[in-house]
Structure 1
Amino acid sequence: MNQTILDRSRNVALVGPYSSGKTTLLESLLSVSGAITRKGTIKDGNTVGDGSPEARDRAMTVEVSVASSTYQDIAFTFLDCPGSVEFAQETYNALVGAGAAIVVCEADIAKVLTLAPLFKMLDDWEIPHLVFVNKLDRCKDSFMEILHALKAVSSRPLVPQQYPIRQDTELVGYIDLVTEQAYQYHAGSPADPIPLPEHLRDEEKAAREEMLEVLADFDDHLLEELLEEINPPKEEILKDLKQDLSADLVVPVFLGIAEQDYGVRPLLDALVEEAPHPGITAERRGLKPEAPGDVIAQVLTTYYTPQGGKLSLVRIWQGELNDGMSLNGVRVGGIYRLMGQQQESVTQAYTGQIVALSRMEGILTGDTLTTGDVNKLKPLPKAQKLEPVYALAITPEHRKDEVKLSSALGKLLEEDPALHWEQHGDTREIILWGQGEIHIKVSLDRLRRKYNLPMTTHLPRIPYKETIRGSFKSHGRYKHQSGGHGAFGDVHLEISPLSRGEGFKFTDTIVGGVVPKQYIPGVETGVREYLVQGPLGFPVVDVLVNLSDGSYHTVDSSEQAFKQAARVAMTEGMPKCNPVLLEPILLVKVSVPNEFTSKALQLVTGRRGQILGYESLEGWQNWDQVTAHLPQAEMQNFIIELRSLTLGVGFFHWEYDHLQEVPDKLTENVLAQNTAS
């Protein structure tokens, strides 16, 4: 392994909430570092990131975009990650392979809370990260107020490395708190050093002291200097920043306006000076990046491209990968360096690099790959799979396309592991599950564009059941005479309810062989077939049916005849047993910042939910978890309203719990809708 290549490369993910400006920042980073000659804009749809049609149609990042550049002899690979919570799975999968992350946020205290889940993931995985406070030209709050708000959502201490210089409300420059040098911004060129503004001396001093005090918590020598009122040299501060950032002990904070390139060069300088090289990240994962031996890599995401087919974006953790090698027994079809939608073929990939591999069939996102014996290799940890929270039932617009659907859905799920599909056992609908309405719509766009499979959609039907409250003794006779043998079956059934959750039971108390044993299974089959759709139109549960009497004909009776007799008896008897409608009830655990707990409680109770209790959410500072029983019928748009009430950060876990009677006033609506459909 060439140590120079390892030392002089950085993998950096750009993460942050939707509309914070990540893709614009990427464009600026590429422009400032000389990777592109002309900056694109989101409005014009010509940025390096967000190159897919689905992203450009919505002016938002919906998948990880990769771009490379060189700055001060450091080779950078940037991963522009989605900001919408509906595409968080993409972001989390990509972060697993990042050496550092830039958390981009708007200069707006009201939106800081949206960073909480992202900070949690970064801290849990110990991924070094910096904060870039963007759009300071629109800022209504002071920088220190924003910094204070950021501290409340991070478990790691934040370290301001810059302080803004404003002229009225306009951002005109910054003060480097390491060197105490002030700079004035210039559009399209580096900032110029200027004297430190006198009116900002006290504020700068306070911000710098805050920076040094945080660093001193991890450096005894620096602490001694501060106690003795010795001004530490620049080199010592930078050394502490580099060590503490690499160990994910502190979070440096930078500022600027990405759209105008303000603050982008100092951010790049910090990545050069302070961000860890890929070997440090590999060692944190328990690997030896410089050791000779087998190649070890991990899939960060999967693409299906119109031209090149399947591409697996991988992080090389150890070893040197050459074109034509096999990983996990699959021959690499090609190695590519990505620049947005563009692909550059290369023959080798080294430790620390992020490249795309073609035609890796059977290889999935998150998989650990090796040129050695995969059975002897401990898989690398991968991002937790998010649970689906929103669903639509889908049907191909053209019936002839039904045969292609399962194959296309399989590829769709390879690209996006946050999706799930099923054919529901009760409703027979094909249901596509995802992280929200936009997430599902993007997936449907991909089905249409990539696989020529346009879909019609509707909300999934609720899998209602029915049961009975009363008992009834029913008689069924089936008699049919044709030219040859006839058909004869005669049964007496006792139909009665069972306790909730007991399902269906069939018994017989036949005495004297009035119904021969060989015909009794036919009776049970007839009962079961009837229970698929009861008198209200839904599957029947929690019913006991006893065969108590009957008669037969020595010539004309058969198992089929007794099955038909049983159906006759059930058809007559079930409507007289006081049938009632049942709905599925889910056990739901809703997680929200505690300032939104009261809203979450109101949301649950407003949807016929029963609150079971709430408590602090383990591992999340200032978050609560509300536990409740909620009817499945009330859950279909629950995630949309929950996110609306919680700045997009609320989430929930659900599982089926039990069946419960539908209130009488709602039963009529359900039955009317079922009849109409």
Structure 2
Amino acid sequence: MVARTERMPIDTPRCAVLVGPYLSGKTSLLESLLAACCAIPRQGSVKDGNSVGDASPEARARGMSVEPNIAHATYMGEPWVFVDCPGSIEFAQDYRNALQIADVAVVVCEADPARALTIAPILKYLDDEDIPHLLFVNRMDESTGRVRDLLAALQAHSRRPLVLRQVPIREGEHITGYVDLASERAYRYRPGQPSDLIQLPETALAREQEARGEMLEALADFDDGLLEQLLEDMVPETHDIYRTLAKDLQSDLIVPVFLGAAEKNHGVHRLLKALRHEVSDVTHTAGRKAIPPEGEPLLQVFKTLHLAHTGKLSLARIWRGSVKDGQMLTGPHGQARISGLYHLLGSNLAKIPEAGPGDVVALGKLEPVATGDVLTPADHPADAPDWPASLAPVYAMALHAANRNDEVKLSGALQKLVEEDPSLTARHDEDTGELLLSGQGDIHLQIAADRLKGKYNLAVTLARPQVPYKETIRRKAEQHARHKKQSGGHGQFADVKISIQPLPRGSGFQFVDRIVGGAIPRQYIPSVEEGVREFMTHGPLGYPVVDVQVTLHDGQFHSVDSSDMAFKLAARQAMAEGMPACEPVLLEPILSVAIAVPNEFTSKVQRLITGRRGQILGYDARAGWEGWDEVQCYMPQAEIHDLIIELRSATLGVGSYSQRFDHLQELTGRLADQAVARSSHGAVAAQ
């Protein structure tokens, strides 16, 4: 390697966050990085289940990352923290939060142009948040396509120019090494070891010259001095090229692209050297987040964990200053004392007495602290940099404790799960009475259920949620009801005459009192309304009644036997007898849905909508997303339960949607009959 300009060693830890789609090989890259740094005795394997990352039972059972994996290491005397994030889109909240504390993001992607779309949401988030990032194209040893085609496919999803840093050396069908475009040196891969320096092959010379010219032209767009040299056909000094590459990466102007194969350790040492020389330290990152360099020590929590034997752990990056075990910290929700300060290597905790700026640490038992909180030893909360909003849920299941005696315990366990993962929500549905667990997809909720069982010994079942149907009426009816009962002593007597009529959709319920002449004493009229309202919670079809007006216009009472209870029962009787004559009809909730997809999938999504009884309202370009559309539609809530599963299946996993309740709509025919039958079964079961 050509010598670079000397610089002072960086003694504060830098943080590189590994992100990328599911199966791109991030965990394998983490293993290779740690092995190259001698942080582990040998490189583990995801297939063999002996990797540093993915150590939790849920991750091992599925062979996939389901939480961030953090590892400390040292490379060439300089400390690093690597954070390997889950690749599944269902755990996107974790990578969004982890990227907030990153000095650089390493985006791991596949060497297949057809799969370039899978990193579009990640690149969009990095671009929007101005987070410096580079690409590591993994499994290049399996690639047979042209790198220039892959680069063009990836560039379509990045606002920053992608700058290729290497070209592969091919021998027949196999890639055996690479040419570094900055130094113009060639290397041959050696499995599990640093690459060998070799003579640049004649067969790679033409492509190397072309690619190097493209790299320099991209850099010249941000450097007038380099542009002037190129216009005068001068060859830039190698150290100037490296300096420009580092400056542009740190300023988030370019996205360097490296090639390799993590499982075979190909290109990993080259990636580490680029990280070492071109990534800024914590002071630069804190400045990017508008955190002043002076002042009290400042930490920010990016992940919360609840471990069986350790209790609550708050994972945090130290933006400035240092912290010690036992120190009191203040956050927006109060003060707490650190009870244990740790470094992490996967699931292993190493206790430390003190940590300084740039470090990523686990803080023990800070009960009032939440993800995103900024902590300081001062006696008042510090100003907090922006923190990403939690992702809105797109998939929900009804959650039931297998043992009813566990329901109180379940509430506390769910609170901890939501604290660990803010993209999970748990709430009781007011219409159906069910406890709903909502999140980012089926696997997301299944893993939450596994954690309830594994961590808290709470067996639960997940079921499709009930649809909150309503019912209303189509015609007016008059009804007279008398409640009379004599059983010795005071009896019960109440007589009411009511009219029941439909109201326009969305009007709700109205009760009108038109009693004149004292036919019913004033003190009993609220009881009549109460009886009407009680009946309307379950109408003739078994669902809550809406958009109905009930008018009390006549009745009778007895001076001795009438009571509040008697009039409430008479009102319920009048509703039960009168409502069936009003042509009750079922109403289903209709949602306003916005589906966002790359425009190549727009027609497919339109067919998906109509197949789910949806009504397409139109579509337009998605704001801020080049090459994406947003399709607006109405869709019955009964059809949206597993929409996200089909949508992701149809769009390489990148499609998404948002929803809101819009209106109620009449439902008739077979679907209405089935809904009424389910309600009847539920009523029978309840009895």
TM > 0.5 fold call: yes
Q: 2-side partners of 1:189 and 1:531: how far apart?
A: 74
Deviations 1:59-94 (A, max 9, x none): 101000100111111101000001000000011011
> Is the 1:175–1:182 Cα contact (8 Å) retained in structure 2?
yes
> What code does the residue aligned with 1:34 have?
C
Q: Which residue of 2 aligns with 1:278?
A: 282
Partner secondary structure for residue 87 of structure 1:
helix
> Is the 2:531–2:569 Cα contact (8 Å) retained in structure 1?
yes
Partner secondary structure for residue 28 of structure 1:
helix
- Is residue 343 of structure 1 aligned with residue 349 of structure 2? yes
> What code does the residue aligned with 2:587 have?
L
Partner secondary structure for residue 570 of structure 1:
helix
Q: Which residue of 1 aligns with 2:140?
A: 136
Partner secondary structure for residue 371 of structure 1:
coil
Partner secondary structure for residue 97 of structure 2:
helix
Could you tell me how far 1:373 is from its partner in structure 2? 4.1
- Is residue 584 of structure 1 aligned with residue 589 of structure 2? yes
- Is residue 626 of structure 1 aligned with residue 640 of structure 2? no
Q: Which residue of 1 aligns with 2:362?
A: 356
> Is the 1:8–1:73 Cα contact (8 Å) retained in structure 2?
no
> Is the 2:541–2:679 Cα contact (8 Å) retained in structure 1?
no
Aligned length: 672
> 474-483 vs 528-537, which deviates more?
474-483
Partner secondary structure for residue 316 of structure 1:
strand
Identify which of 297, 309, 312 aligns with 1:310. 312
- Is residue 494 of structure 1 aligned with residue 499 of structure 2? yes
Q: Which residue of 1 aligns with 2:115?
A: 111
Task: List runs of 5+ in structure 2 lacking aligned partners.
Answer: 1-6, 683-687
Partner secondary structure for residue 406 of structure 2:
helix
Q: Which residue of 2 aligns with 1:216?
A: 220
Q: Which residue of 1 aligns with 2:194?
A: 190
> What code does the residue aligned with 1:281 have?
T
Partner secondary structure for residue 183 of structure 1:
strand
Could you tell me how far 1:7 is from its partner in structure 2? 4.9
- Within a 5 Å distance, the mapping from 1:108-507 to structure 2 comes to 108-289=112-293, 291=294, 293-328=295-330, 329-375=335-381, 377-507=382-512
> Is the 2:515–2:554 Cα contact (8 Å) retained in structure 1?
yes
> What code does the residue aligned with 2:44 have?
G
> Is the 1:490–1:565 Cα contact (8 Å) retained in structure 2?
yes
Could you tell me how far 1:672 is from its partner in structure 2? 2.1
Q: Which residue of 1 aligns with 2:4?
A: none
Partner secondary structure for residue 343 of structure 1:
strand
> What code does the residue aligned with 1:488 have?
F
Could you tell me how far 1:136 is from its partner in structure 2? 1.0
Q: 2-side partners of 1:524 and 1:389: how far apart?
A: 39
Q: 2-side partners of 1:454 and 1:373: how far apart?
A: 43
> Is the 2:11–2:79 Cα contact (8 Å) retained in structure 1?
no
Q: 2-side partners of 1:424 and 1:383: how far apart?
A: 26
> Is the 2:473–2:502 Cα contact (8 Å) retained in structure 1?
yes
> What code does the residue aligned with 1:295 have?
P
Partner secondary structure for residue 26 of structure 1:
helix
Q: 2-side partners of 1:510 and 1:288: how far apart?
A: 72
Deviations 1:256-276 (A, max 9, x none): 110000000000000001111
Deviations 1:446-479 (A, max 9, x none): 0000000011121000000000001100011100
Identify which of 617, 639, 644 aligns with 1:639. 644
Could you tell me how far 1:179 is from its partner in structure 2? 1.0
Q: 2-side partners of 1:7 and 1:374: how far apart?
A: 30
Partner secondary structure for residue 301 of structure 2:
strand
> Is the 1:108–1:140 Cα contact (8 Å) retained in structure 2?
no
Could you tell me how far 1:4 is from its partner in structure 2? 8.0
Q: 1-side partners of 2:374 and 2:322: how far apart?
A: 15
Deviations 1:598-620 (A, max 9, x none): 11111112111111221111111
> What code does the residue aligned with 1:666 have?
L
Q: 2-side partners of 1:7 and 1:239: how far apart?
A: 20
Q: Which residue of 1 aligns with 2:553?
A: 548
Sequence identity percentage: 53
Could you tell me how far 1:665 is from its partner in structure 2? 3.2
> What code does the residue aligned with 1:52 have?
S
> Is the 1:6–1:278 Cα contact (8 Å) retained in structure 2?
no
Partner secondary structure for residue 40 of structure 2:
coil
> Is the 1:137–1:169 Cα contact (8 Å) retained in structure 2?
no
Partner secondary structure for residue 432 of structure 1:
strand
Partner secondary structure for residue 602 of structure 1:
helix
Could you tell me how far 1:327 is from its partner in structure 2? 1.5
Could you tell me how far 1:676 is from its partner in structure 2? 3.1
Moved over 3 A (4+): 3-8
> 54-63 vs 394-403, which deviates more?
394-403
Q: 1-side partners of 2:454 and 2:115: how far apart?
A: 34
Q: 1-side partners of 2:267 and 2:563: how far apart?
A: 87
Q: 2-side partners of 1:233 and 1:107: how far apart?
A: 31
Deviations 1:213-250 (A, max 9, x none): 11000000000111111111110000001000001000
- Is residue 567 of structure 1 aligned with residue 568 of structure 2? no
Q: Which residue of 1 aligns with 2:40?
A: 36
Identify which of 537, 553, 576 aligns with 1:532. 537
Could you tell me how far 1:162 is from its partner in structure 2? 0.5
> Is the 2:596–2:630 Cα contact (8 Å) retained in structure 1?
yes
> Is the 2:178–2:188 Cα contact (8 Å) retained in structure 1?
yes
> What code does the residue aligned with 1:207 have?
A
> Is the 2:10–2:78 Cα contact (8 Å) retained in structure 1?
no
> Is the 2:543–2:679 Cα contact (8 Å) retained in structure 1?
no
Q: Which residue of 2 aligns with 1:71?
A: 75
Q: 2-side partners of 1:617 and 1:510: how far apart?
A: 57
> What code does the residue aligned with 2:236 have?
P
> What code does the residue aligned with 1:652 have?
Y
Partner secondary structure for residue 440 of structure 1:
helix
Q: 2-side partners of 1:288 and 1:570: how far apart?
A: 68
Q: 1-side partners of 2:630 and 2:617: how far apart?
A: 11
Q: 2-side partners of 1:168 and 1:430: how far apart?
A: 60
Partner secondary structure for residue 123 of structure 1:
helix
Partner secondary structure for residue 94 of structure 1:
helix
Q: 2-side partners of 1:21 and 1:658: how far apart?
A: 45
- Is residue 523 of structure 1 aligned with residue 528 of structure 2? yes
RMSD of equivalent CA atoms? 1.2
> What code does the residue aligned with 2:616 have?
I
Task: List runs of 5+ in structure 1 lacking aligned partners.
Answer: none
> Is the 1:318–1:351 Cα contact (8 Å) retained in structure 2?
yes
Q: Normalised by the size of structure 1, how large is the TM-score?
A: 0.98
Deviations 1:26-85 (A, max 9, x none): 000000111111111111111001111111110101000100111111101000001000
Q: Which residue of 2 aligns with 1:53?
A: 57
> Is the 2:399–2:436 Cα contact (8 Å) retained in structure 1?
yes
> Is the 1:7–1:277 Cα contact (8 Å) retained in structure 2?
no
Q: 1-side partners of 2:252 and 2:354: how far apart?
A: 31
> Is the 2:187–2:197 Cα contact (8 Å) retained in structure 1?
yes
Partner secondary structure for residue 660 of structure 1:
strand
Q: 2-side partners of 1:90 and 1:419: how far apart?
A: 11
- Is residue 662 of structure 1 aligned with residue 667 of structure 2? yes
> Is the 1:397–1:454 Cα contact (8 Å) retained in structure 2?
yes
Q: 2-side partners of 1:486 and 1:436: how far apart?
A: 58
Could you tell me how far 1:664 is from its partner in structure 2? 2.4
